[in-house]
Every structure is written in structure tokens, then in C-alpha cells.
A = this chain, B = another copy of it.
């Protein structure tokens, strides 16, 4: 069990890298831990950036979680603004240019990069990718001087940016090729209230609209060409698909999976002894489909970092297939879900039916009550729930967590239809919306069987 004097090198200072470093020091403090990041900062919350732009959060300083000193204090050697240029798996060294660092265990946590579209003008100044907090601070100052923004892609980030920039008072356009918002994850009916909320904030939404290129003047973007017309802009926010940053791993000879994520087993081990990977640069197994997935949440990255570190220092810790509870706020609407929605069930040809209901978050008469729409996607033979999608005004995150836990354990419509629930007027209605959806589903089943 003991891992005395092990030298651990971590490449990457995001959620996975930082949690791996902290976990190592917590469970095996004698391990020497060096963490490399190409960036100036670690331990801030990049997910908070859109909300600072929208002034929901007063300033960027609020997003920092820990000081550099904290990491020094616990014995983590942070090497910031230091780009690892090469990993040598045979020599067990990482290289920063010509300088070599030896390791006994290596954790690769190189995160993601945004897909950069291969279209005209994509190298123009004024195309902004939301990631690094220093660039976000500069961008925020720029927002003071400009009027028009086009947000490319109605991804979760695109929706958060579009809502917050509209709230900030900018003329904001959101462009997406699909027929509805967040089409990769969410069902159209679930996203409809988000679309309405964004519009009421002033966001102009262009669906079914493909970006063809960027038009510049003096090297700076001045409009976005799309299949439905040209949109003037001062900047374009590129909320494009996140791709695993697998460059170092690939060049080192590690295996890359079908999604572009580094291949790891359930211990977050690559196929090379002593080498682990975690976070947005890996792919993991989806518990519902058993297919590899990548690009999950900061919370997933954090857990994967913990698992990688625990195994690196000699513990036995497995990372289970994921069911991916998700949630977010689009405009003023909370949406969320677990596993696959109705749309993905259809696309993948998975047999299913939908059990849905609209309940309420508190007693009908209590101030602050909101509707909570719940869709359960159900396997027809066993009545196991294989996915869920929700929209409402509160309690969506907690319900998604619950459903994630329950779906992983094979919960059925019966289980949810007869669940006990808290009833207290200020915080919960007589009937839990999840139970109502399940009851509606059982009624459908009964009618079908009687027909």
C-alpha cells in the first residue's frame, strides 16, 4: 500500500489536475507532486466566467478558489506558465523544452480545446474562446467598448454567454445550425422555455443557421456570414464543441479512443504502467449505452482526478460508468437531465416511450413556486427509466443528481411513481413532479395493455 517517496508528475492544472494533486497529498503526503500548467493560474472556476460578463457575479477575483500559496503550503510544486512539450514513456520523463523531469507516476490532465472551424476568417482577431480567466478579463474590458456580439453555437456555454451578454445590454445574436438549442444534449420541448427566456432578455436567436465564415476589416472580425444572412458584430464568441486535448498523449504513443479522448480503464490507467489520465482529455464509459463519452462536467473531471491519484499512490479505486446528471440555467430557466434524452434515444434507435408531467416546485399558492416539467424516457419491457430531461425554475440540479443515482441502480417507473416525498408548502408540493411523470407513464402503460 505505501508509496513512500514516489515522484508524481501531473500535466494540467484544471479540475482533474488540481484534484489529483490535492488527493495525492491528502492520502500519501510523502509523495513528491509537481504540477505543470501552461497558464498563469490554477484553481479558479472557468464555469463562472459567463456570469461575471453578465454581472451576476461582481468580478473575476470571486472565481479564484485557492491561492498559489495554499498549494505551496500543502507541498504541491506548481510550475505555472510552463508548457510540457514532450512525454517520454520509456524514460519516464516529461520535458519542458530541453529540461527533463523524472516521474514514477504520471497523470495527464490536459483538458480540452475548442474546435476551431475550418472556414474563411477563422484566424481573424475578435473571435473569442471562453477558457482562460486572464483572456476573459481582457474580453470583459473590451465588452465596455463594443455593441454587437455574435455567439457561435447554442452549446451550454453559448447559451450562458448569449443570455449574460444580452443581460449586459449588448446586441447579442446566437447562431446554431440545429433546429433547437443545445440539440446535442437536450430535447426541443425542454429547450423551448429557454429559447423564450433568452428572447425576453433580448437575445436574437438564429436557429437552422450555419456559420459559413467570418468577414474582417483590418484583420478584425466585423461580421459573420451564415446560411440565413450576414450578421454584423464587433466580436464573435466561439462556443464550439470541446475536443479532448490529446496532443501530448498521442505524441507519446498513448492510445486514443474513438471520441478523441485518451483511453483509460476504470482505474483511470492508460495501457502504460504508471501512467494515468483524467478529465476532459479522456473518454469514459457511459453507463446507459456502454459507449465511450468525453467532455463532461468539472465535477466529473474532479472525481476522475481523485480516482487517478488514489490509484497512482497505491489505493484501489474504480471510476464507474457515468450517467451524467447535468443542469444549467439558460436565460432564467433551469434545465437539466440524466443520460440520454428522447431525441438521442430516437437517433440511436433505442426502444423507449416518454412519461411526462408538469408539476410544481412548492405549494401552488406559495410565493416563488415554479412549474417543473419532467420527462422520463422509459424502456418499454422492463419499465426501467433510461433517461430524463427537465425544465423549471428551481430544484432541477438536485433532481438531476437524484435521477442520476437512481438510473444507475436500475430504477423503474413503479419506483418513482410510489416514491415518498417531502410536502411542505414553502419548499415542496404535495406531489413530487418526478412521481407525477412516472404516474402518467404507468397510466399510459395500463391503457396500452388494456387496449
Contact = CB atoms under 8 A, between A and B. Distances in A.
Interface of A: 15, 45, 47-48, 51, 56-57, 62-63, 65, 297-300, 302-303, 320, 322-329, 334, 336, 363-367, 394-402, 404-406, 408-409, 411, 415, 418-428, 430-432, 434
B409 A299 contact: no
B51 A326 contact: no
Given A328-B427, A329-B427, A334-B427, A422 B299 contact: yes
A396 B422 CA distance: 9
Nearest to A299: B423
Nearest to A406: B405
Contacts of A56: 366-367, 426
A427 B393 CA distance: 10
B422 A327 contact: yes
A326 B422 contact: yes
A57 B368 CA distance: 11
B302 A57 contact: no
B51 A421 contact: no
B394 A363 contact: no
A3 to B, nearest CB: 15
A311 to B, nearest CB: 14
Interface centre among A65, A329, A395, A419, by most chain B C-beta atoms within 10 angstroms, is A419
A57 to B, nearest CB: 5
A298 B430 contact: yes
Contact of A401 (B320, B328, B336, B421): B421
9 contacts: A15-B430, A56-B426, A57-B425, A297-B423, A299-B421, A322-B420, A327-B422, A327-B424, A404-B421
A89 to B, nearest CB: 29
Contact of A45 (B299, B363, B396, B401): B363
A424 B337 CA distance: 13
Contacts of A363: 45, 47-48
